[in-house]
Structure 1
Amino acid sequence: MSLVSEKKEGKLELIAQKHFTPWDEMYLVVDFLNKHLKDKKVMFGLNKKNGEMVMSIYEVE
Structure 2
Amino acid sequence: MERSDMKMKVLSTVTVEKTDDFYKVVDQLNRTLKDKGLTFGYALDEKDHSKITMTIYEV
User: With structure 1 as the length reference, what TM-score do the two structures score?
Assistant: 0.79
In structure 2, distance between residues paired with 1:36 and 1:13: 19
CA deviation after TM superposition for structure 1 residue 36, in Å: 1.1
Aligned counterparts, 1:19-58, within 5 A: 19-49=15-45, 50-51=48-49, 52-58=51-57
Give ranges in structure 2 of 5+ residues lacking alignment: none
- In the TM superposition, structure 1's runs of 4+ consecutive aligned residues that sit over 6 Å from their partners are none
2 CA distance for matches of 1:43 and 1:55? 11
How many residue pairs get matched? 52
Say what the alpha-carbon RMSD is for the aligned residues: 1.0
TM-score of the two chains, using structure 2 as the length reference = 0.82
Percent same amino acid at aligned positions?
Answer: 37
1:3-60 deviation line (CA, Å, top 9, x unaligned): xxxxxx5210000000001111010000001011100000000101221100100000
